[in-house]
Amino acid sequence: MAPLVAGGKVLVGNAGGEFGVRGWLAALDAGSGRLAWKAYNTGPDKDVLIGQAFRPFYPMDRGKDLGIHSWPPEQWKIGGGTVWGWISFDPASNTIFYGTGNPGPWNHEQRPGDNKWTAGVFARNVSTGEAKWFYQTSPHDLYDHDDINEQILLDMPVAGRMRLVLIRPGRNGYLYVLDRQTGQVLSADPFGYINSSRGVNLRSGRLIPVKEKEPQAGRVVRNICPTASGAKDWNPSAFSPRTGLIYIPHINLCMDLGVLEANYVVGTPYLGAESKVYAGPGGYRGVLTAWDPVARKPAWEVHEDLPLWSGALATAGDLVFYGTMDGWFKAVDARSGKLRWRAKVDSGIISQPVAYRGADGREYVAVISGVGGWAGALVSAQLDPRDNSAALGFVNAVRDLPNKTKSGGRLFVFALDG
């Protein structure tokens, strides 16, 4: 993850949720580099920095040492809950918000319980690290739904009242609107196709799972949507205050998932799952959704053939920039979604575009090309598509990728008025 500097602290977390690690977020003093605090995401309350100030909204998150009691013995020590995504800082309340990764191993049968504090979002005092609230989007996560996605801090009307909210399009396919002061879920609406859960119970805060889609050892469960990569992975959305829309680059994929016993050996993957990923209903694999958070529905959608794995960028010129895995860098109209401009770059784009005014006073948009990561490993690491479980099954979803792009790694800078 990229470190975030906030409130005089440099915040860094760890990754490796597939290796049986124990997730944490640490704050280093920006001046001295000394460790200010370190909050684990599993284990006893004192490790998680849960104290008197901790006021979770839902009863399921209240209790002593839930980071131990919601796990089988010893499992919390290797239970994941890493922090490798985005941290948001609210200077007004001196609070940071971040999501925690999936519990490990993927085979959920090996970790009965809610597996606190994984797959949820923490609000912490940035100075002390003390937890303020926590909300778990996927208690006892079944599908590797890390909850590390970005959070968008907005002040917006909800049911007629202005609320300070935190919006996050989650891995599990719901666009959560949380009260960022309390952690209450104000709404949770699906922004992609979901069949593994039936919604979120706003009273208990719990996800309502679909029993038939629950993985079980020794039998592959077919057609689970969204996939392990989520309805949307880490690639961040953009918000335009001009249109009031959130532009969510996400994916439309489903998977077959089989779990098997994971064996913990230090330094090796701790997974216990095999999957095959394929396009969801409609056959397209990527979507750019413009979401109207007030109306709680999409304003428009653009379908992309390949999974959409780049971040989105909204500009004051009412354009939304994003890149595709076959190497198109596109700009669409922020209000209608109509394609305004596109350029082909040498490789697929899975990075986040940025816009800036250069030293020469001109405006530029820059993006790095080069497929890779989970989605593009088939090309970048030359995986073998004859194995449809390669790259945790993702290779199966993008078999055509080698025909459409090649590996790369260049920075492209476009001048806006050039």
Comparing C-alpha atoms, which of 115, 104, 78, 387 is closest to residue 259?
104
Closest CB to other proteins among residues 114, 326: 114
What is the spatial distance between Cα 173 and Cα 82, in angstroms, rounded to a whole number? 20
Catalytically annotated residues: 18, 102, 144
What is the spatial distance between Cα 61 and Cα 68, in angstroms, rounded to a whole number? 13
The overall longest dimension of the chain from CA atoms, in Å, is 62
Closest CB to other proteins among residues 75, 181: 75
Distance in Å, CB of 7 to other proteins, minimum: 34
Place of tokens 């994916």: 251
Where residue 267 falls (left for φ over 0; alpha for ψ -120 to 50; beta otherwise) is: left
Closest CB to other proteins among residues 4, 148: 148
3-state class (DSSP) for residue 308: coil
Place of tokens 């082909």: 344
- CB under 8 Å to 314, separation ≥6 — which residues? 238, 239, 240, 242, 243, 247, 320, 321, 334
Q: Are 207 and 200 in contact (CB under 8 A)?
A: yes
Distance in Å, CB of 65 to other proteins, minimum: 9
Distance in Å, CB of 62 to other proteins, minimum: 15
Interface residues with other proteins (CB under 8 A) are 18, 20, 68-75, 77-78, 110-113, 216-220, 222, 256, 258, 260-271, 274-276, 377, 381-392, 395
Distance in Å, CB of 121 to other proteins, minimum: 23
Place of tokens 């809950």: 81
Place of tokens 């995986």: 383
Closest CB to other proteins among residues 73, 160: 73
Distance in Å, CB of 66 to other proteins, minimum: 10
Closest CB to other proteins among residues 293, 393: 393
